[in-house]
Amino acid sequence: MKPLIKPWLYAAGIILLAQSCSFDPTINRQATISGTVIDNVTQLPVPNVEIMVYGQKGVWSSVSGDLKTVYTDSTGKYNIVIVLPKEFHSFELINNYNSDPNVALKYRGYHTYLNGQQTQNCCKVEMGSKAQYDFRMIPR
């Protein structure tokens, strides 16, 4: 049994070292994310949609945490400026439209646009970047 302990300790040490090396103090950890949420059919703004930023930490991004939450205004717009805490190595944006029953009853999903281009991958945000994520809500 003792011979198995050393390899596990070495593996754990390598994982911890890899995690600690992911923090580089010279990297700009701020990001600005903005966008608009509209109805895909009527092209009208959708207010009160919850937009969340989640941070990823852990070697395999196995742990996440809610870092900031905002809601779209009466014109469907939102804006987030966030500095990623050092224990996180990346973050993503989530359109959590299901949080408001009035919105959830009207829509079954959304199309995502990054900087004006439709994307299937939602919604990674690079540290030090400015991104515009627009959402076109799909009516039920």
Residue 18 lies in a domain: no
Average pLDDT (15-30) is: 57
By residue range, what is the domain housing residue 134? 27-139
Examine the pLDDT at 16 and tell me if it is beyond 50.
no
Question: What φ, ψ does residue 94 adopt, rounded to 5°?
Answer: -130, 130
- 75-126, pLDDT tens digit by residue? 999 999 998 888 888 888 999 999 999 999 999 999 999 999 999 878 888 8
pLDDT digits (tens, 9 = 90+) for 4-14: 566 665 555 55
- Which has the minimum average pLDDT: 36-40, 42-46, 82-86? 82-86
Residue 11 within a domain: no
> What pLDDT shows up at residue 18?
46
Q: pTM of the full predicted structure?
A: 0.77
Residue 1 in domain: no
Banded pLDDT at 132 (limits 50, 70, 90): very high
Report how far residue 24's alpha carbon sits from residue 76's, in angstroms, rounded to the nearest whole number: 36
Domain annotation covers residue 121: yes
Phi, psi of 85 (to 5 degrees): -60, 150
- Going by pLDDT thresholds of 50, 70 and 90, the confidence category of residue 52 is very high
Is 50 within a domain? yes
Q: 100 lies in a domain? A: yes
Please count the other Cβ atoms lying within 10 Å of the Cβ belonging to residue 18. 10
Residue 3 in any domain: the answer is no
Nearest 5°: the CA angle 122, 116, 45 is 85
Residue 89, C-beta contacts closer than 8 angstroms, at least 6 positions apart: 22, 23, 56, 57, 61
User: What is the number of structural domains in the chain?
Assistant: 1
12 part of a folded domain: no
Region 48-58: mean pLDDT is 89
What's the gap between Cα 60 and its chain centre?
Answer: 16
CATH of the domain at 115: 2.60.40.1120
Average pLDDT of 69-78?
98
Give which of 40, 56, 113 is closest to 88, Cα–Cα: 56
